[in-house]
Amino acid sequence: AQSVTQLGSHVSVSEGALVLLRCNYSSSVPPYLFWYVQYPNQGLQLLLKYTTGATLVKGINGFEAEFKKSETSFHLTKPSAHMSDAAEYFCAVTLSRGGSNYKLTFGKGTLLTVNP
Amino acid sequence: DAGITQSPRHKVTETGTPVTLRCHQTENHRYMYWYRQDPGHGLRLIHYSYGVKDTDKGEVSDGYSVSRSKTEDFLLTLESATSSQTSVYFCAIGDLAGPLGDTQYFGPGTRLTVL
Q: Say which of B48, B56, B108 has its CB closest to residue A42.
A: B108
Instruction: Look at residue B24 in the predicted model and tell me its pLDDT.
Output: 98
Q: B90, A43: Cβ pair inside 8 Å?
A: yes
Instruction: Look at residue B101 in the predicted model and tell me its pLDDT.
Output: 64
C-alpha separations of A33 from A3, A61, A67, A111 in Å: 11, 18, 8, 19
pLDDT in tens, chain A (116 residues): 788 999 999 999 999 999 999 999 988 778 889 999 999 888 999 999 998 888 999 999 999 999 999 999 999 999 999 999 999 999 999 877 777 778 888 999 999 999 99
Instruction: Look at residue B71 in the predicted model and tell me its pLDDT.
Output: 95
Instruction: Look at residue B100 in the predicted model and tell me its pLDDT.
Output: 56
Q: B50, A102: Cβ pair inside 8 Å?
A: yes
Quote the CA–CA distance of B53 and B66 in Å, as a whole number.
10
Instruction: Look at residue A30 in the predicted model and tell me its pLDDT.
Output: 80
Quote the CA–CA distance of A58 and A14 in Å, as a whole number.
22
Residues of chain A with a CB closer than 8 angstroms to some CB in chain B? 9, 32, 34, 36, 41-46, 49, 51, 90, 94, 97-109
Adjacent-strand bridge partners of A33: A50, A93
Residues 6+ apart with CB under 8 A from A20: A11, A75, A76, A77
* Residues in B touching A45 (Cβ below 8 Å): 106
Task: Give first-to-last CA distance, chain A, whole Å.
Answer: 41
Adjacent-strand bridge partners of B19: B78
DSSP 3-state assignment of B5? strand
Q: Are A43 and B90 in contact (CB under 8 A)?
A: yes
* CA B31 to chain CA mean position, Å: 11
Partner A contacted by B34 (CB < 8 A): no
pLDDT in tens, chain B (115 residues): 569 999 999 999 999 999 999 999 999 999 999 999 998 888 999 999 999 999 999 999 999 999 999 999 999 999 999 999 999 999 999 887 655 567 889 999 999 999 9
Quote the CA–CA distance of A66 and A58 in Å, as a whole number.
9
Q: Are B53 and B70 in contact (CB under 8 A)?
A: no
Q: Say which of B94, B102, B109 has its CB closest to residue A51.
A: B102
DSSP 3-state assignment of A22? strand
Task: Give first-to-last CA distance, chain B, whole Å.
Answer: 34
